Structure 1
Amino acid sequence: MFTTLVAVLVALALGHVVPAFASRLRRFEGFRHWLTWLGAHAGPAWPGPAGVALAVVPPVLLLALLAWWLHDRLYGLPALLLGIAVLCWCWGPRDLDRDVETIIDADEAAVRHAALQNLQSAGGSLRDDVPSLVDATVYNALRRWFAVLFWFLLLGPAGALGYRLLALMAISPMRARVPPDTLDVAQRVLGWLEWPVAQVMSLSMALVGNFDTAWTAWRQAHGERWRRDVGFLGAVARASVSAELREEAHDYTDMGLLPVWQRLPELRDAMSLVWRMLLLWLAVLALLVIAGWIT
């Protein structure tokens, strides 16, 4: 748990202080070459489920063996550094709040278009209307931050790397190097890996925002169903943002003030919601660390 707290703080700092270096670090060129090699040499095993296993299992297994070998060596310091390095590597690849701020502050059409492409790269609608941008923000939060963190907590560095490699196969430009049958399997597996993360994120949004609104949106979007669809996450986010903006406008009215004008307040509020969810997760982790130290 302590490793996770330190690693998340380092990953966030890396994206803010040296964003260009962080982006270059997280390109996964080695995995791109590995997919190319498999396409040329794996033969009939490459299409289908076996192709996904061939692409993801070897690097994840090597990392798991390394983590096992480093466990308890030198008082756990090498394992701690490995966990920090892997989480920082799998985080992102871009800094989410920087991408959101770029969209909000963009005055030129070309800058705004590039920023929209960066924000929408992790999924969601490619439209630039407000609901689509809110969706893109939470889906990016899922795929850049929370899914990596969730599987790191459950399975350690190997879990974080496994999720990131599968996401690269399924939704990144690297999917062009993957046969259609293999891509379909990778996307289905990714959907099931993201489903529990989206559920915990929805609960987190309810806790840091308006619980009744989030709960109602979750039920209306059929979030209780066991299926690999995380569309309910966007519905909860849109409802939570709308409720918070209504409450903010009501507070201004009660005080006899006019709401402060700002660009894309829904997008700002969506990013604020994401930050509060991350802080909630880190607070829970900190409490678990403290409890572990006490016992």
Structure 2
Amino acid sequence: MTSSLVIILIATGLLHRWPQLASYRRDTLFRTWLGQISRVDGSLHAVLALGLPVLLCLLLIAGIHIFPGHHLGQALFALAVLMMSLGPRELDPDLAALQLARTPVTQLQALTDLHDETMAQLAWEQASVAEAVAYAALHRRFGVVFWFVLLGPPGALLYRLSQTLGRDASLDLGPGQRKAAQYTANALDWLPAHLLVFTLAIVDHWDAVMNAWRDWRRSAGRAGWYGAAPGFLAAAVRCSSMTPGEGPGSAADAASDPALTAARLQQVFQRAWISWLAVLALIALGGWIRPLP
């Protein structure tokens, strides 16, 4: 766990200091592989699309292990995989652009950059901005880190590729392929999204967030957890953005200015991120989870 925490801190620190590093992320090989299995339909397509890259990742880790100094090699490999998976775009610059947008053109562009395929529509209003920020934070940071801590580099890679496969509208997928891909992406979102909701309840407003979570669960039904995007997270964040606060980012101001909604939510998610890192540090100090091999 200690090595995982250090790798997470280094990766996020490098990307924060030099956000242009995100421009080196490429999914060309993944798209080429999808073209090779384009005739496969349904769940088997998702298994093959995600299974081979994850298997190759495991084989590379095993291959590095046979060399002297393999601990450093595996740490560098894990760092590279994590930096590639924390994407496809950097979260903080897109949130900053959202707050600075003043004209309809720049507002639409900023929202488009933050937009996720899980959103039903784009609109420069408080609810849409809150939903966009929620999904972007989950898919670009919290979900990746959750699976990285749980399963190591293969987990981070699996999550990133599943989100690309299930959410990227530019991929040429058939109806059966897209449905299976979306189910996979939604299933991998379920655990980190719930953990993020509970974190937001602790760091922001417990009653508002938990009430929104309960209301969504009552209305979604039993199949809602994998059949659709984690709407409970979007509902919780929308309520969080409307809870009373102080200063220019308060709920009263945010309701009339979506840019202030983004500013308030950026602060909320920063507190959530610090909370996650603090918990990981406590776990590392306690030695409760084995470190990466």
Q: TM-score range by the shorter chain?
A: 0.7 to 0.9
The aligned amino acid for 1:83 is A
Quote how far apart the aligned CAs of 1:12 are. 2.4
Q: Tell me whether 226-235 or 215-224 shows the greater mean CA deviation.
A: 215-224
Q: Which residue of 1 aligns with 2:36?
A: 37
Could you say what secondary structure the match of 2:245 adopts?
helix
For 1:52-201, list aligned pairs within 5 A.
52-71=46-65, 74=69, 76-124=71-119, 125-175=121-171, 177-201=172-196
Q: Which has the higher contact order (CA 8 A, sep 6+)?
A: 2
Quote how far apart the aligned CAs of 1:174 are. 4.2
Residues 256-295 of structure 1: CA deviation (Å, up to 9, x unaligned): xxx89987322211111111111111111111111129x9
2:16 matches 1:16: yes
Q: Tell me whether 189-198 or 61-70 shows the greater mean CA deviation.
A: 61-70
Quote how far apart the aligned CAs of 1:206 are. 0.8
Q: Is the 8 A contact 1:214 1:239 kept in 2?
A: yes
TM-score by length of 1: 0.85
- Given candidates 244, 247, 269, the residue that maps to 2:245 is 247
Judged with a 3 Å threshold, the aligned counterparts in structure 2 of structure 1 residues 3 and 49 are, in CA distance, closer, same or farther, namely same
Structure 1 runs, 4 residues or longer, greater than 6 Å off: 259-263
TM-score by length of 2: 0.86
Q: Is the 8 A contact 1:3 1:83 kept in 2?
A: no
Q: Is the 8 A contact 1:32 1:174 kept in 2?
A: no
Give the root-mean-square deviation of aligned CA atoms. Answer: 2.7
Q: Which residue of 2 aligns with 1:48?
A: 42
Structure 2: where are the runs of 5+ without partners? none
Q: Is the 8 A contact 1:14 1:22 kept in 2?
A: no
CA distance in 2, matches of 1:205, 1:105: 25
The structure with more radius of gyration? 1
CA distance in 2, matches of 1:101, 1:279: 19
Q: Which one has the bigger helix percentage?
A: 1
Quote how far apart the aligned CAs of 1:37 are. 2.6
Judged with a 3 Å threshold, the aligned counterparts in structure 2 of structure 1 residues 188 and 75 are, in CA distance, closer, same or farther, namely closer
Aligned pair count?
Answer: 278
Judged with a 3 Å threshold, the aligned counterparts in structure 2 of structure 1 residues 19 and 156 are, in CA distance, closer, same or farther, namely same
Structure 1: where are the runs of 5+ without partners? 253-258
